[in-house]
Amino acid sequence: MSSEGKDQRQSPTDYDINDVLRQLDELEGTVDTSKERQEVRRTRRMLESVPGSDRIRKYTSRDIAEGFVGGIIFALPLLVEDGVFEIAEWFVEFTVASIPIFFVINVLFIVGLVSGLLYFTDIRNVQVRLLFGFLPKRLTAVLLISLCVAAGTMLMWGRLTAEGPSNFEMLARITVIWAAAALGASLGDILPGESSGTDIADRVAEIGDRESGSPE
Per-residue pLDDT of 54-106, as tens digits, reads: 567 778 888 899 999 999 999 999 999 999 999 999 999 999 999 999 999 99
CB 114 within 8 A of CB 182: yes
Q: Tell me: pLDDT of 177 over 60.
A: yes
Residue-averaged pLDDT of the chain: 80
Q: What pLDDT score was predicted for residue 45?
A: 62
Q: Higher model confidence: residue 164 or residue 6?
A: 164
* Average pLDDT estimate for 133-154: 92
The H or E element spanning position 115 is: helix 101-119
Q: What pLDDT score was predicted for residue 124?
A: 75
* Average pLDDT estimate for 42-51: 60
Q: Which residues pair with 22 in a beta bridge?
A: none
Closest CA to 214 of 33, 59, 93: 33
* Average pLDDT estimate for 98-124: 92
Query: Residue 195's pLDDT band (boundaries 50, 70, 90)?
Result: low
Which of 5-9, 17-21, 41-45, 109-113 is least confident? 5-9
Cα 113–chain centre separation = 12
Question: Distance between CA 162 and CA 89 in Å, rounded?
Answer: 13
Query: Residue 192's pLDDT band (boundaries 50, 70, 90)?
Result: confident
